[in-house]
Structure 1
Amino acid sequence: MSGFAYRIDDGSAEQVDLHDAFDSPAHLIWTHLETTDDRAKTWFKDRAGLDEYVIDALTAAETRPRCEKFESGALLNLRGRSEETLSTSDPLASIRIWAVKGHVYSATRKPLVAVTEVRKEVEAGDIRDPGDLITAFATAITADLDPVVADLGDELDDCEEALDANRVFTLRRTVTRVRVQAIGLRRFINPQRSALETLAALPGDWLGADDRQHLSAAADRAARMAEELEAIRERAALTHEQLTDLRAEQLDIRSLIISIVAMIFLPLTFVTGVYGMNVKGLPWADEPWAFDAVMGMCAGLAVLISVFFVARHWFRN
């Protein structure tokens, strides 16, 4: 089982082994486990002495962003970008947090980018209490996700500007990928906003007024990202329809051209078919100029039919 622990006193942080985290008192003790298997359950129960309900929440197999008050603390589940590549259906890694006055316990299944950023703040002395630590997590996660959402919007902008019937298949793949990613992100960012709003409103002296303001700001940022992702999803659907229309229009134009060519050669095929019959009685069959006359008549028919279609504007796209 891997993980780490910090003892924080008056802005100074000391990293210690997980098994030594509770050997001496500190203003704030943060322990983080990078697994949620049976070993984590045993550590949370035997070493940290947590309640069974809290342990189940910290080690649940599937989680969604939520915040719940339990006794004198708060259970918080958040989702953020992982250092590993995850599936498009579940693109964000989870972090589960149990916070009470003087203690913060966290656990992840996948390495979270935000954990590295929060550790830097802890070691820099910017974290002093549980409220600061949770606020740092909320801010780091939303700040890390914001460019991802912006990149999806920019990628969709490029597709909208490059709409071209000759690039339908390439653009359609890109639009579909952007839409799937937007749906996957919105699935977790929308409830994450609600979780942060709930946490900011929870009673408790371990959350200061500045912490609540920062949590509200993170919630507003998450709400903006959720709205942007919804807009991306709708725009992607509209762009996909436009690409489908372009492809259908391209097929219609090609079908029209084929039909026109077929109609030009239909009477010519009839004439050549008649004169290709091996029977007696065909007009001018024995004349030396008959071949030139038939070819001229076919050429005249082709020109006449083409002029008719041009006059009717059938060649316009």
Structure 2
Amino acid sequence: MARFLKNIDKKAGLPPGSLIFIGQQRMDEPRLRIIDFNPQTLRKEFIPSLEAAGPIKTTATTSWLNIDGLHDSDLIKRIGEEFDLPALMLEDIQDTGQRPKVEEYPDHVFITMKMLFLNEDQSEVWSEQLSAVLTENYLITFQERPGDVFEPVRNRIDNPNGKMRVRGCDYLLYTLLDCVVENYLKVIEKMGERIEEIEDEVLENPEPDLLEEINLYRREIAYVRKAVRPVREILSKLKNLDSEVIVHETMPYLRDLVSLEEQAVDSTEIYKEMLADLFSTYNMAIGSKLNDIMKFLTIFATIFIPLTFLAGIYGMNFESMPELHYKYGYYILLGAMSAVAVGMLLYFKKRKWI
């Protein structure tokens, strides 16, 4: 499946709001998990069915419902019915190729964006779609698979004396977004370390493998930019929302998050330019190396042209040729050829051609 644009043939001809999963199924069965807390109590558990999540709509606690697995259209539909979510929102949740965006509704705010991860050798980036629905009483998040960057948030919720336990769902959403953006910086930093190493290697020894690696990182940085750049628009819009579900006290944190996101965007732009420069530097280094080889071959051939000329003359077997039967003719010819070669080398050196 294409990384930059998902296959949308399944949606062709269907009306808006049709629930069709677009993407790669990453787990067998969806998994639901609730974290419900206030300053005095904490409840963390995986729930067997959606019905067990119904009470979070009316409780006075801060509730976080997380769904792992987006492929079950029936489950997504029942979630929409249970929590009064618009059909177009549900369609966006199931489309893993959806461009990151934020939408404001009367009673909730919807966000969809990408989480980024590096593979084991830290050379290739893969993404996972994260969607979030924020209301005053609860936060619902949708992920493609188990495993995310939110473990620090869960650990903070475990602390009964921490700020997380006294804040609302909007602050919880901020902390999740903060983890996503910080992970952007970690991914970019890991890639940047190798890119800077390649820069030194290109100058020292431009091997063909380096060109392949440069092209690999150019593709991966382009993929990161596609995921990271729209998030700046999301956060800028989010911090300016006039919505009841985001309280005034959370706005400074969102503004700070915008600065962090801009840092991530700037980093991708810097490494994009560095890779373009590396590509040019590699070609220049290869060209310079080729020029050195051609220079050596040219000098070598130039020296042997007069030597070949002399050898050609005395290689002719005419009986009346002068010096042909001379006793020391062979040694004289070798000496003359050596003198010509040495003289040409000294001339080349004087002209600084070698």
TM over 0.5: yes
| Preserved CA contact (<8 Å) 2:123 2:191 | no
State the AA in 1 paired with 2:264: M
Match of residue 38 from structure 2: 9
8 Å contact kept, 1:65–1:77: yes
User: 2:258 matched to which residue of 1?
Assistant: 219
Judged with a 3 Å threshold, the aligned counterparts in structure 2 of structure 1 residues 211 and 11 are, in CA distance, closer, same or farther, namely farther
Q: 2:270 aligns with which of 224, 228, 231?
A: 231
Matches within 5 A, 1:12-23: 12-16=41-45, 17=47, 18-19=49-50, 20-23=52-55
CA 83–45 in structure 1, closer or farther in 2 if over 3 Å, else same: farther
- Residue of structure 1 aligned with 2:102, choices 67, 78, 84: 67
Q: Give the paired residue count.
A: 315
Q: Which residue of 2 aligns with 1:122?
A: 157
Distance 1:88 1:289, change over 3 A: closer
Q: How far off is 1:71 after superposition?
A: 2.4
> Could you list the runs of 4 or more consecutive aligned residues of structure 1 that deviate by over 6 angstroms after TM superposition?
83-90
Relative to 1, partners in 2 of residues 1:196 and 1:4: Cα closer, same or farther, differing over 3 Å?
same
Q: Distance in 1 between matches of 2:41 and 2:212?
A: 51
Q: What does residue 240 of structure 2 align with?
A: 201
**Change in CA separation of 1:116 and 1:99 when aligned onto 2, cut-off 3 Å:** same
5+ unaligned residues in a row in structure 2: which ranges?
A: 1-29
Superposed CA offset, 1:192-221 (max 9, x none): 011012112112232122322111111111
Which one of 324, 342, 348 corresponds to residue 303 of structure 1? 342
Task: Give the counterpart of 1:36 among 58, 62, 70.
Answer: 70
Q: Percent identity?
A: 15
What residue in structure 1 maps to residue 3 of structure 2? none
Choose which of 97, 112, 118 in structure 2 pairs with 1:77: 112
Q: Partner letter of residue 271 of structure 2?
A: I
TM-score after normalising by structure 1? 0.89
Q: Are the counterparts in 2 of residues 165 and 243 from structure 1 also a CA contact under 8 Å?
A: no
Give the aligned residue type for 1:32. Answer: N
- Deviates further, 141-150 or 176-185: 176-185
The alpha-carbon distance between structure 1 residues 86 and 270, as it changes in their structure 2 partners (threshold 3 A), is closer
Higher mean C-alpha deviation, range 75-84 or range 93-102: 75-84
Relative to structure 1, the CA distance from residue 248 to residue 83 in structure 2 (aligned partners, 3 Å threshold; closer, same or farther) is closer
Select the residue among 141, 155, 158 that pairs with 2:194. Answer: 155
Letter matched to residue 159 of structure 1: I
Report deviation, 1:102. Answer: 0.9
Deviations 1:143-182 (A, max 9, x none): 2222222333333333334443533435444443333332
Q: Structure 1's 283 and 84: CA in aligned 2 closer, same or farther, altered over 3 A?
A: closer
Q: Pairwise CA RMSD of aligned residues?
A: 2.6
Aligned amino acid, residue 323 of structure 2: W
Shift in Å at residue 41 of structure 1? 1.9
SS at match of 2:320: coil
Secondary structure, aligned partner of 1:203: coil
TM-score between both structures, scaled by the size of structure 2: 0.80
CA deviations 1:33-73 (Å, max 9, x no partner) are: 11112243233135444332232222223122211112221
Contact 1:264 1:302 in 2 (8 A): yes
User: Which residue pairs with 2:11 in the alignment?
Assistant: none
Does structure 2 retain, via aligned residues, the 8 Å contact 1:2–1:35? yes
